[in-house]
Amino acid sequence: MLIPKTRQTGTLIKRYKRFLADIALNDGQELTVHCPNSGSMRGCAEPGSPVIISKSENTNRKYAWTLEMVQKKNIWIGVNTSLTNKIVREALENGIINDFGTIESIRPEIKVSDKSRLDFLVQTKNGPVYIEVKNCSLVEDNVAIFPDAVTARGTKHLKELEQLITPKTQAAVLFCVQRADGSCFRPAHEIDRLYADTLETAQQNGVQILVYRAEVTPESVTITRKIPLCQDWERQEKAV
């Protein structure tokens, strides 16, 4: 997934009101930019961090520029969660994500209740697969963890996935890690115990947990490989 060509580097001054960030450009100019990330951005929102911003072609936007990436310890972290589903779809279409067999079609934004949608319904030769995608930008002690803030919506999605499973229908939650570090994945029980417990239950009842890492460069974000679940994550949760 290519980042818009019109982009600049700068330095994060602060992120605030969830969807705004102030950026200092290299020439000393300051800009307020759109920050498309509803999470806390824990670990990747420190003032003084190098950033990359892109300019939208939509001239009607109040804030023309978008925060795309933040750099920490020489690692670029993708924080634009509005791109996550596009990144995952590209990887599904290109066969990088190949957990479900031959894919025949991909439908986005599937309504599963009066008030809820899931990200994808993938039709495969082995039957349909419902997929909910989550963006993961938090890594601590070389472990990718999610969520970075309490997510009632995420917990609801897990329960919906679980209810959709039948002998012919699969369901999966797919975590897209938009950074180069993190050797394994676990849920952030210390941040949202309910989500972590619900994820464990969903897995026990047949929801697949998939974790894929993306290569993040100033020009693009591309899923490249699958990473495993941390072998002891369930034991770690019970100890907290």
Residues linked to residue 67 through DSSP beta bridges, in sequence order: 53
CA distance 157 to 206: 14
- What mean pLDDT comes out for the span 128-157? 96
203: its two tokens: 């897995």
Stretch 29-51: mean pLDDT, rounded? Answer: 95
User: What is the average per-residue pLDDT within 93-97?
Assistant: 95
In the chain the domains, ranked by start, together with CATH numbers, are: 7-78 (2.40.50.580), 81-239 (3.40.1350.60)
What mean pLDDT value characterizes the chain?
93
Confidence of residue 59 (pLDDT cuts 50, 70, 90): confident
Among all chains, which residue has been given the structure tokens 């180069």? 180
pLDDT of residue 234: 54
Reported pTM: 0.93
Residue 239 scores a pLDDT above 90 = no
Task: Report the percent of the chain where pLDDT is more than 90.
Answer: 86
pLDDT band with cut points at 50, 70 and 90 for residue 105: very high
The DSSP secondary-structure symbol of 83 reads: G
Q: Please report, rounded to a whole number, the percentage of residues in the chain having pLDDT higher than 70.
A: 97
Cross-strand pairs, 132: 173
Residue 233 confidence (pLDDT): 65
Please enumerate in sequence order all residues whose Cβ is within 8 A of that of 17, keeping only pairs 6 or more positions apart, or say none: none
Which CA distances in Å does 213 have to 24, 70, 180, 184, 240? Answer: 29, 16, 7, 10, 27
Summarised one tens digit per residue, pLDDT across range 172-189 is: 999 999 999 999 999 999
- Across the range 63-76, mean pLDDT stands at 96
CA atoms within 13 A on the CB side of 67: 34
Q: How confident is the model at residue 130 (pLDDT cuts 50, 70, 90)?
A: very high
Burial 67-102 (b: 16+ CB within 10 A, else e): bbbbbbeeebbbbbbebbbebbbbbbeeebbebbee
Q: What is the pLDDT of residues 207-231, one digit of tens each?
A: 999 999 999 999 999 999 999 999 8
**Of 198 and 112, more confident:** 198
Q: How far is CA 189 from the centre of its chain?
A: 18
pLDDT at 113: 82
Task: Give the β-pairing of 143-146 and 184-187.
Answer: parallel
Contact 56, 4 (CB under 8 A): yes
pLDDT-based confidence at 232, cuts 50/70/90?
confident
- Per the CB < 8 A criterion, the answer to whether 41 and 79 are in contact is yes
Residue 181 to residue 129: CA distance in whole angstroms: 29
User: Is pLDDT of 8 > 80?
Assistant: yes
